[in-house]
Amino acid sequence: MGAGPAGLYAADILLSQVPGARIDVIEALPSPFGLIRYGVAPDHPRIRSIVDSLHQILDRGAIRFLGNVTVGSDVTAAELKQRYDVILLATGALQDAAWDVEGGDLPGSFGAADFVAWYDSHPDYPQIWPLEAQSVAVIGNGNVALDVVRVLARRPEELALTDIPEHVRLAFEASAVRDIHVFGRRGPAQAKFSPLELRELGQVPGVQILLEDRDFELDDADHAAIGANGRLRQVVKTMEQWRSGRREGGERRIHLHFHWRPERVEGDGSVTGLTVRRTAPDGRGGVADTDELRTFAVGAVYRAVGYFGSPVEGFPFDADAGVVPNRAGRVLGPGRDVAPGLYATGWIKRGPVGLIGSTKSDALETVAGIVEDLPALAAAPDRAPESLEELLSARGVPVVTWDGWLAIDAAEVARGAAQGRQRAKLATRQEMTDVALGRSPVSL
């Protein structure tokens, strides 16, 4: 279950090791590709090119795609177990992690995952997003925070060239955002940015990047960390160049603040500010709180503090860790015993860490367990996976097959061409399924 990189890489590897295996990829959305389609910023075509390799995996026709199918409501876990020898959970981590800060639940305090899903036009998210605040705060020092900052800072005409649909384009065109304050609890020497993503931030036209000199008063532990880590060395070098360059002008300003920990979100009915507490290096690569507090007047707060997995009805789930409990990909049931025939891969297996390379190696580990267990699992009574479509049809579920997705894909490309760009996404589940099932042509 799950047609993102984790699920598709695992399916492809399994097919290469068990030629002739019957593999169905069941996806809750009408489209494949998971977070590559709905979790990557629209101005990142380099990352989105991964879609081409994932497309090839399904386009060969040896793996069946069944989209727009929700496990739990459309089909139960028990019904899947009756039909398949092996069930592999690759459902990812789609929710924002919890953020236990006073006032963090005020209107105007948003999770980055929700914001990304909106601007990527996830069909299950509202089409309206408030961008009325002139000054906003972004919490986090990782690549998701950079995506949020970069998209907020871009000129509307730049975003209009991406695959965003019309309602997202219009929202950014009306955006009031002018100042973006980015807060990290630790210092520049502990930032989790990737060098390339950070440099891309500096290439956004019409933006001034501001840093505070005292944030770069590094201690011996900071210097040791920078000296031992090439990625970190590049990150700090880039920020030092910005600091010495003092880039002036720009329609929008990005303020990078280090050594500030969110204390509370201010507001009465909606966000009006963010109070942060100063931290200081502790000499061991960590930080300690100080007595210094500062309040920034902001009208919105975006927290990029991590993702969290969601349970799939009928399957084991660790609600504290946000993952499926497992041992090297073998799912663990009650009593921590291995649940025969159940496996997990990707972020739902290990948590939301690691990039595409980690996803592939993770899939290799899980598939190795499946192949090892397969002789015992295949000894079970014959399954009938083909009967799943019959069951879903009888329940009136509008299943999107691979041909259906190709119809959606062609419609998005056609709509984009009519607007002078490569693609324009279909925005709603209804629109996507109508096109997939040939019920209506797409409007250009």
Choosing from 399, 415, 430, the residue where a domain stops is 399
In a domain, residue 347? The reply is yes
Whether residue 62 lies inside any domain: the answer is: yes
Cα separation, 189 vs 229, in Å, equals 10
Q: Can you give the CATH number for the domain in which 148 is found?
A: 3.50.50.60
Q: Has residue 423 been placed in a domain? A: no
Statement: residue 361 has pLDDT above 80:
yes
Helix H or strand E encompassing 377: helix 356-377
Is residue 440 situated within a structural domain? no
**What is the phi/psi pair of residue 255, to 5°?**
-105, 115
Do 103 and 228 reside in the same domain of the chain? yes
Any domain includes 25 = yes
Cβ atoms of residues 286 and 241 within 8 Å: no
For range 117-137, the mean pLDDT? 95
Asked whether residue 132 falls in the same domain as residue 233, the answer is yes
- Closest by CA to 429, choosing from 63, 169, 127, is 127
In DSSP notation, 122-191 reads -TTS-S------SEEEEE-SSHHHHHHHHHHHS-HHHHTTSS--HHHHHHHHT----EEEEEESS-GGG-
Coil, strand or helix at 338: strand
- 232: pLDDT confidence band, cut at 50, 70 and 90? very high
Nearest CA to 171 out of 156, 150, 186, 189 is that of 156
Closest CA to 209 of 258, 164, 250: 250
436 within domain boundaries: no
Tell me: the pLDDT tens digits for 255-303? 999 999 999 999 999 999 999 999 999 888 889 999 999 999 999 999 9
Q: Is pLDDT at 383 greater than 70 in this prediction?
A: yes
Predicted pLDDT of residue 386: 81
Helix (H, G, I), strand (E, B), or coil: what is residue 64? strand
Residues 148, 88 share a domain: no
Domain interval for residue 246: 96-303
Give pLDDT, residue 317. Answer: 96
Residues 42 and 108 in one domain: no
Residues 6+ apart with CB under 8 A from 176: 131, 132, 133, 134
Residue 245 has pLDDT above 80, yes or no: no
- For residues 164 and 297, membership in a common domain is answered with yes
Q: Looking at this protein, which amino acid is placed at residue 390?
A: E
| 320 and 259 both lie in a single domain | no
Whether residue 442 is contained in a domain is answered as no
Tell me, what CATH number does 72's domain have? 3.40.50.720
pLDDT on residue 247: 58
- Whether the per-residue pLDDT at 250 is higher than 80: the answer is no
**Pick from 319, 320, 342: which is nearest to 331 by CA?**
342
Residues 130 and 268 in one domain: yes
Distance CA(173)–CA(160), nearest Å, equals 9
Same domain as 139, residue 268: yes
Query: Is residue 177 domain-shared with residue 54, that is, in the same domain?
Result: no
User: What was the pLDDT predicted at 209?
Assistant: 94
Tell me, yes or no, whether 264 and 160 share the same domain. yes
- Total number of domains in the chain: 2
Q: Which of 283, 303, 323 is the last residue of a domain?
A: 303
Q: Domain check: are 56 and 108 in the same one?
A: no
pLDDT bracket for residue 326 (50, 70, 90): very high
Of 38-47, 104-113, 240-249, 402-411, give the lowest mean pLDDT range. 240-249
Question: Domain boundary residue among 383, 399, 415?
Answer: 399
Residues 55 and 146 in one domain: no
Q: Is the pTM of this model over 0.85?
A: yes
Asked whether residue 314 is domain-assigned, the answer is yes
pLDDT, mean of residues 199-228: 93
pLDDT at 400 over 80: yes
Which pLDDT band holds residue 190 (cuts at 50, 70, 90)? very high
